[in-house]
Structure 1
Amino acid sequence: MRAVVVSRLGGPDVLQVVEQPVPEPGPGEVRIRVAAASVNFADVKARYGNYHHAGAPPFVPGLDLAGTVDAVGEGVTGLAVGQRVMAFPKGGAYSEYAVAPAVLAYPVPDGVDLETAAALATVGVTAYELLTKVARLQPGETVLVHAAAGGVGTVALQLAKILGAGQVIGTVGSDEKAEHARRYGADVVINYSAGGFADAVLAATDGRGADVILDAVGGPAFADNLRCLARFGRLVVYGNAAGAYGQVDTAELHSTCRSVLGYSMGTTRRFRPEALRASAERVLELVATGRLQVPVCGRYPLERAAEAHTVMENRGTLGKVLLVMA
């Protein structure tokens, strides 16, 4: 089979297509003939050696995929050969075949195509987990979504509305991305390229601030997040795209009843994989019924994986990027 490997740590040029043996599923696993794999910013970080649990080169990158089960390991129930699934594989997703733990493979409903399922996996489950389990969003609350035109951001805007948010605010880095954020549910969009965002959030909320903030940026944004976080608000940190970490003065937390919370999809997959099923099934249902959309802005064959990574790394995406195995 063909697979993309990170031959050494570095830029997009380190991605190479190689021939590898087709993997065999072990007990509790299924083998999937991959239709499409999602490209996530975590894949870019892994290519540089900056993503937790990433292997040493050479390794196959990719967190999620969708395809058809073509072999079932011992002890697997509820999944059968020929079944369409969305999955988080044991190894990388950038390959024609992949093995996934059955606990991390979810049947794709009729009416949802496999490319959409591949695009949904990481961003949909992450956004739903952030808003429901971590931030515990309540009806009527204000939600601030950073990187609102990206994969998680685009889905989080929509889910916040579906879950009853009273106001949804998104931050973006360009006018084009601002239009995208509005299209997918943002009531207020802040273009941070023209300056900071905290004052604009406070102005949009009559000085209250946001009840829930979803932040995968980190770095300098952290202090501004705290500045515009409402009393009893929850700041959820689920990444550090800026490459730096923020600092918190605990006195700012207890006196205002505010919380700073962390979430990692990778850690959850590793230590509590069974906890993701309800979220995965819910977002698949929302897509199947047309309430949730996952826009795909680019489709690339395996041979153009470096190009897909370049677009992702340059923040040139509006929605999701896929590798397709046509």
Structure 2
Amino acid sequence: MKAIIYRDNGGTDVLQLLDRPVPAPGPGEVRVRIVVSGVNPTDWKTRSGATNPKQFDEVVPHLDGAGTIDAVGDGVDPGRVGQRVWVFMATAGRPTGTAAEFTVVPAEQAVPLPDAASFDLGASLGVPALTAHRALTVAEDGPQRLRPGALDGKVVLVAGGAGAVGHAAIQLARWAGATVISTISGPEKARLAAAAGAHHTVNYRDGDPAAAIRAIAPDGVDLVAEVALGANLALDLAVLRTRGTISTYANDGGKPVELDVRQNMMLNTRFQFLVLYTVGRQALTAAAEDVAAAVGAGALPVGAEHGLPLVRYPLERTADAHQAVQDGTVGKVLVDIT
């Protein structure tokens, strides 16, 4: 099979396209013939060594993808062969990701993909959708699972609604019944956030964004899905209601975070920091089930008309795909495998 591999941490030049043996599924595993692979920021950060040192002599990158199960290991229902699936967390503790014609994952990490859902959608789920689900289900008085009506009466602020996680957070929050506000940096990103389903967009670079958000939510927002905590903390606290939650999954820009302890005591602020690698099996399973339900309901479409442009590369240009994500390309970067 054709596969992208790297043997050393480094820049995009460490990625190589090579022939590799087709892997065999072990007990409890499935083999998936990958059609589309999704690229996330964590993929290039892992490759570069920015987050963790390389664990294996050779790695096939990419956590997410979509394709068809073509073989199963012992203990897995043989009827799953031929099933269309989306794959998540393929390289979590394993060396075989989705940047290859075949990958092997635990059966529960290959989630059925409805016939009406494209492989592009399947490859765009994974890290972004599961992260968004976690961000929306950690409030003290909020739901632990998402479904229509679960967030009725809640106001959710999504920072960076034009990003992949922000896009999924807008869609999931709206599907669950929340009023969704997204902060954006300009008209084009406002258009994307609105296309994703945000009821309101606020340009954080213009005027008084806190006043604009308070005009929409006079009692404050219940929950913030945050991508740049250091840069946005003052605004978040200015609009957060008492006992509200700030869920942060990144700190884009790298600005240090400084907390006014008394201010947060008086607000009874809840901060939830999250990363999927250590979130735990129970949370991942719940998120995958709820995301699958949202997909089945048609609530998570992708593409420019739905607020998430798709940027495509062939397998042999995976290095360019990594560079595009690293450079902050707007939209979801995909690698076509077959």
- How much has 1:6 moved relative to structure 2? 3.6
Residue of structure 2 aligned with 1:312, choices 325, 332, 335: 325
Aligned-partner SS, 2:323: helix
> Partner residue of 2:272?
261
- Give ranges in structure 2 of 5+ residues lacking alignment: 144-150, 304-308
In structure 1, what is the equivalent of residue 237 of structure 2?
Answer: 226
Aligned pairs for 1:158-307 within 5 A: 158-165=171-178, 167-194=179-206, 197-198=209-210, 200-206=212-218, 208-268=219-279, 271-272=280-281, 274-295=282-303, 296-307=309-320
CA deviation string 1:130-165 (max 9, x = no partner):
213557264222211112111111121122122111
Q: Does the CA-based 8 Å contact 1:110-1:288 persist in structure 2?
A: no
Give matches, 1:60-99, under 5 Å: 60-77=60-77, 80-88=80-88, 89=90, 90=94, 91-99=96-104
Structure 2 partner of 1:154: 167
Q: Distance in 1 between matches of 2:7 and 2:210?
A: 42
**Distance in 2 between the 1:54 and 1:164 partners?**
41
- Which residue identity lines up with residue 261 of structure 1 in the other structure? Q
Cα offset for 1:109? 2.1
**Cα distance change on mapping 1:196 and 1:73 into 2, 3 Å:** farther
Amino acid at match of 2:127: T
Q: Distance in 1 between matches of 2:206 and 2:10?
A: 31
CA 1:293–1:257: 2 relative to 1, 3 Å: same
**1:276 partner amino acid:** L
Q: For the structure 1 residues 185 and 13, does the alpha-carbon distance in structure 2 shift closer, same or farther, using more than 3 Å as the test?
A: same
For 1:302 and 1:258, the matched residues in 2 are separated by: 45
Between the aligned residues of both structures, percent identity stands at: 38
* C-alpha displacement of 1:28: 1.4
TM-fit CA distance, 1:179:
0.9
Deviations 1:28-55 (A, max 9, x none): 1111111111111111222322235864
Task: Tell me the matched-pair count.
Answer: 320
CA displacement at 1:79 relative to structure 2: 5.8
What TM-score comes out, normalization by structure 1 length?
Answer: 0.87
After TM superposition, give the deviation of residue 200 of structure 1 in Å. Answer: 4.1
State the AA in 1 paired with 2:39.
V
Give the drift of 1:260. 0.6
Shift of 1:80: 2.5
User: How much has 1:214 moved relative to structure 2?
Assistant: 0.5
Distance 1:101 1:9, change over 3 A: same
